[in-house]
Structure 1
Amino acid sequence: MGPESSVAAARLKRPSWKDPRLVVGILLVLASVAGVISLLSGADRTTEVFAARNSIGVGERITAENLIRTKVRLGETEQHYITAASGLPENAVAIQRIGKDQLVPRTSLGVVDALDRKPVALTVSEALPAQAVAGARVDVWVAQPDARNGFNEPRLLLPGAEIAEVTEGATALGSAKTTVLMVLVDDSSMPALLGAQANDARISVVWNPGGGSE
């Protein structure tokens, strides 16, 4: 057998298990397979979390009765939600509105002392815009009575106030329809609003599409 035949035979020789190239190749294949399995199992992992059975307003107690359990894929965002495994905090109330079927974020729960806004009822006799629903933002304007049995020029009292609830109302004699808005008011604005109501000021609301407050 000549030199060329010896070289060809060496090339065709079955690799040995002791060949480092073969060992490295096997390790790379195993690592790739393990990575794919881990990725697929992580993507398919679901977490049981709480969601609102119906809309939950600010200040409302959070209990098992007003929540449902649902399984979702949260991934790295799991820490931001209340899970069934962690359980519900005791004596928790909503400090932000939680819409129907919405997952319950941890930041939306607190205690009564943490509430910086409180619901106040406003009776409005004017027609409201269709956008004036729970969760929407409105500007509340107030016109104080003047000395001629009229009203002074309206001024903006509550910019971007959040509506907590909307209900139908009526006058004392039931002859006229009114709407009662529950709006969330912070303590700093409370005296001016309650004073306006005590003076029988005319209250009007305007939908604020920007949603912010000044």
Structure 2
Amino acid sequence: MSRKQPQSTPHADVPVATRTGSPGWRDPRLWVGVVLVAGSVVAGARIMAGADDMTPVWSASSDLVAGETLTADDLVATRVRFDDASDRARYLPVESELPADLTLSRPLASGELVPAAALGPEPTEEAVAVSLAVATEDVPTDLVRGSRVDVWVVGEDRGRRAGAELVLEDVLVLDAPVVSDSFATATSRQLVLEVPTADDGPLAEVLAASGDDRVRVVGRA
């Protein structure tokens, strides 16, 4: 007796596996990726180049007053980008060693860069603080503590042709209280000046002239 071979039953349709091909050069996704990578490289290069342009200079670690001799505690290194080399030369670079006797010729606020023009050697001559009352119209309105001024004395006749003599040149303003609104009608303003005592003649002349309103104060640029 012959056996019947079992007949195969039909199977459900099976999806045919397909192989994913590599994206071609025409694939827009490839070009988007290239642009993103190139942009990252350019941005990184610019950041690195910008970091190289930063110059470390000294700035004030706190509020400093005129006449103060600077120490290491008064300064903090600050990195700044200067657009012009001449601007960079105006300030004190961290890489240069500071002299031991640098004195401020004007006040500096905390965080303000220290300009080389605001520093000078510590004065060797003795000086005294002199308080003067000067007519408000004879004092520049922008005078503040740390300003530098010239002091003139008008002749005793005080006529229209009366001459004026330069008595004190390039002196430091130690204090210059601002007249408040409540005292806006004040006729005089107080100034405290640092006057050298090497020659008593100019000091005596200024003190004598301040008593009869013959002192004129001129701010220096």
Under a length normalisation based on structure 1, what TM-score does the superposition of the two structures give?
Answer: 0.50
Higher Rg: 2
